[in-house]
Structure 1
């Protein structure tokens, strides 16, 4: 079978793409390397979304939350209901390894996965950015005590925890572990807490710092991690400070799988953003027939696209695919 479209990624935007393909009467298949909305599943257990529930809705399915802003558990339940409602054609726990042009019968794409191969006239990449953390590249980063993903604060109760970063993930981790009894130290490269921190959280962390409940080292960076310490450096004076430490939560952000994008022929900008090339009206990349949807469009600017402002990508993409395949 040759599908009209194969969607790589089964997150909220991947599901939105499947819904639009369904509406257009296109044959499609969603391929997801993990569970349904895999990235959301791996979010911290107590996470609260910045967006309100109606801004996370897809497929005209209402998202009713018990809170002003939904939490992770509610989001997982909601997207399970979306899948149940639309009965989207999706294969879970099947990782896409490569996408190649195939000229055996006609010009189609051959998609190789961990479980097989598929043919499709067009491909949509909706892989997000949560799978590859931005590393600190310091000695000791590979120690088991260093975590690039934060889950449940209970693990860190009554331990010395260093949290790296000044944005939302770091601040949430610092506050939650502190409230479970951890001795928390924030290490931030910038001069202050990031302006993008959720407005209802920012006063909380500022007050905890002011009262001394959470220690902070502004304009410092990690130089080394040992089994019992973390060594940080003042970025101005170059003075080193050694801190007793049990865990390091490196909330340094994440990035798209640039190797995969380049392997399938997507052109990236030659600056540090590595923005993929695509038509902003159709979201078709420089590779004809390969489309980009969701946060992957932003490259390293992972704060450019969210569920709420990239849901429209699906409509743009499948309107173009429908027109193209009708010719």
Structure 2
């Protein structure tokens, strides 16, 4: 085994809730570890909309046996960020933030050599727990690269009294539409299908349906955005192309894992784009390289969440110990 200060039993890529859960289990098993995170602690959650409320209860978001106490039945984004920060403090987790992993390769001694934006590491095992929030699904339409277009929505105040187009009708799109409308924006929703997304939160669905019914929010179903210009957009509808005034486009079209990174690490990705791994151990086709959390779902980003992928941490560490 290499003898240097940057060698660990386990190197974990991603300091989200599942990456932290893996670190806690490694700590309990007396394994040395380090988490390397390209952004802030729980970076994806940090980038969620400021006023977002989780679908899950706080108990289902707990890791490490630390109670997640809230005054509401369902916690919000701010409470979650604070909770996970306190978990990191409680376990004194070894986390290196704002450090991007660039390469993971195995050497002749069967040890992983990990190169980052700041230094190099070696590790006996690597866990990839990077989620899927970093790579948005693009619309691939003219004007998508204009400054007024965003694939990440955070705070509705920016859009007060503006003409706003929201693309998408799942939770993120519905939340953006309702919140910006309530800040005085003139909101137009563009929905590719014939109805709102099936996963829209049950307590939010009546609100958005009523706003559309009353004409307070305009919605074009079976439609798509086909071009974006500085002060207007073109929408393809069943009745033909419609042009409307526009100041901002919020494209809530979804996200995907960083497939190029997974391929670079040697992980097999079949045509379905669901990474190859053993569902009992979470080990990929690369021996000693594991996946944890929502990254395992590939393009099916509604398959795995914090609550049903927390178990990956125990599965992985148990396999490593055995």
Question: Per the shorter chain, which TM-score range?
Answer: over 0.9
Distance 1:222 1:210 in 2: 22
Other-structure match for 1:152: 155
Aligned counterpart in structure 1 of residue 71 of structure 2, from 60, 66, 71: 66
Q: Is 2:91 the counterpart of 1:86?
A: yes
Cα distance, 1:102 vs structure 2 = 1.4
Q: Is 2:114 the counterpart of 1:115?
A: no
Other-structure match for 2:300: 301
Other-structure match for 1:230: 233
Distance 1:254 1:163 in 2: 16
Distance 1:36 1:228 in 2: 37
Distance 2:72 2:43 in 1: 23
Unaligned runs of 5+ in 1: none
Q: Is 2:305 the counterpart of 1:321?
A: no
Aligned-partner SS, 1:119: strand
Render the CA deviation track for 1:272-315: whole Å, top value 9, x for unaligned: xx100000000000111100000000001011110000000001
Aligned-partner SS, 2:157: helix
Distance 1:318 1:185 in 2: 48
Cα distance, 1:172 vs structure 2 = 0.3
Other-structure match for 2:244: 243
Distance 2:64 2:220 in 1: 45
Render the CA deviation track for 1:5-46: whole Å, top value 9, x for unaligned: 100000000000000100111111100011110111111100
Other-structure match for 2:46: 41
Distance 1:166 1:84 in 2: 37
Render the CA deviation track for 1:115-145: whole Å, top value 9, x for unaligned: 0100001100000000110000000000001
Cα distance, 1:232 vs structure 2 = 1.0
Other-structure match for 1:140: 143
Aligned-partner SS, 1:213: coil
Other-structure match for 2:280: 281
TM-score (norm 2): 0.97
Cα distance, 1:3 vs structure 2 = 1.1
Other-structure match for 1:95: 100
Aligned counterpart in structure 2 of residue 50 of structure 1, from 55, 62, 81: 55
Distance 1:37 1:102 in 2: 31
Aligned-partner SS, 1:161: strand
Other-structure match for 2:15: 10
Aligned residues: 317
Distance 1:171 1:269 in 2: 32
Aligned-partner SS, 1:283: coil
Backbone CA RMSD of aligned residues: 0.7
TM-score (norm 1): 0.96
Distance 1:309 1:276 in 2: 18
Aligned counterpart in structure 1 of residue 128 of structure 2, from 111, 125, 139: 125
Distance 2:173 2:270 in 1: 28
